[in-house]
Chains A and B, each alone.
Chain A
Amino acid sequence: MLNYFQQLGVTSLGIFERLGRSSLFFVNILLSIPGVIVRPRLLIAQIYSVGVLSFSLILISGLFVGMVIALQGFYTLSDFGAEGMLGVMVAASLVRELGPVVSALLFAGRAGSALTAEIGLMKTTEQLSGMEMMAVDPIARIVTPRFLAGLISMPLLATVFSAIGILGGYFIGVGLLGIDEGGYWSQMQAKIDFNQDIINGLIKSVIFGWLVTWIAVFEGYDAIPTSEGVSRATTRTVVHSAFVILLVDFILTALMFGDI
């Protein structure tokens, strides 16, 4: 019994220690941002590898998610004779929820894991140490450009996801199920609110982007410098990101849409 409590104490101390270290790490990232902004070349290269390479995945997934919502939504809405609202339903689910959440989950799997593995391997092969000895701060040179790239890419990817999803819903709703084309778009325009829906969705994706890339770069930087350590860190990135995205999404949704 005593052992159990002791173990509990050790585990929670470990968690707090990691939280503390990751916060300190984040402060170091913040401090190095000005240096990265004045030399945007690195940042652009990272936006390419973090963002652009996730693009096709986001595009295809967005299309299918939009088509599925339209199919499912149509059968429910048609029971109430409200097929005309299909556009609103597709757009609202995507812009508020599925766009930010699903694209963040995909992003964690596609880009987050790659970031952790890359930084972890650089640590394992002493590249980070080597940089330090060349008086190049690895946080400013390696970590911060990747962090900013994630932060910038995420809302863009989520927007693309939602847009292509709405288009997918249109193909299914208007093309396949034969609902009125004008209604699909005009109802959407009338019911989707810029501040309430679009801005809130964007805020979500910015927060998810921040959390996922923070987790990814920290796990890589903090990985035990062995192949096993890096593989564990990569797994942790995906698992923790997924968990944090869903938890934070719940909290944000309650705060943003709880009173309507």
Chain B
Amino acid sequence: MATLKDRIEEVRKAFEEAAPQAGDAKSVEELRTAFLGRKRGRIMLLFEELKSAPAEEKREAGRLVNELKVAVVDRLQALENGALMAVRPAREIDLTLPGRQRYVGRPHPLTLFQEEIERIFLSMGFAIEEGPEIETDYYNFEALNFPPHHPARDKWDTLFIKGDLLLRTHTSPVQVRVMERTKPPIRIICPGRVFRRETPDPTHLPMFLQVEGLVVDQGVTFANLKGTLEHFLRALFGEKVKVRFRPSYFPFTEPSAEVDIECLVCSGRDPDCRVCGGTGWKEILGSGMVDPQVLKNVNIDPEKYSGWAFGLGVDRTAMFAFGIPEMRYFYENDLRFLRQFGAK
């Protein structure tokens, strides 16, 4: 006589033969009754038989019956799901089709980049200030310690309107206006459009965006300028980026510093690098301690207060950060270019 173990094997085989035939919900239900039916189900009968099995067989056979039951239950569930799917006419829904999206417009890359810069300074307690783009000679030059007819003005080649009106060549006039109407502590950034009389080429345009910043308070030092700008550049270009401050000249700061970061393209390893010219460094911003004459011009006592300021071209920095070879791309407004940056 076959052992209980053999009979369990027999039932398993029978189920496996019958299962593939069950194509619709009805036959799956019949299969369930035949094997799991409470009274006559073949697996249920095995459980009955188990009760009277000899002790030495009971343990092993019990495990096998239980395993079989779990397998049958799972298989029946799967068959049932399949049967339900089969009810729907094939291919009415192709789930592999692309999802339906609502198109959301993309911000201009310069706006995106400028907002990134603003966010970093806002987190350091700076406020955002703006001012007119058509300025006077006084705010654009004289208050900033550019004497009339000084060759220093040549670097800020100017588009003139009439009388003493001109298109601002930097957003520094906003700094002057804020210092005129506010008592220190002052901690601002001034983003905006600026204009220069430039013949367009890959890295020069007659209009571009700038962000300048200014801090005026008691006890502000060049060390603060360094620390804050280093923090800013690391926040913008990554924690590990190397930053270098070197002496320079601007009429409105004393001492003045250009700030370079290491070339992200070649890290100083390519003597013919198109981005850094092989120096390994890329000039990113100009900065310095606010010239005492500038403070005097706005009635802030330079003996009591000191300050630092910086200025950065948004376009050129964005070119560097994104590896964009020509500045004019930003103003051609080719949507195939602009739309790439929404995902940035």
A binds B: no
**B residues bordering A, Cβ < 8 Å?**
none
**A residues bordering B, Cβ < 8 Å?**
none
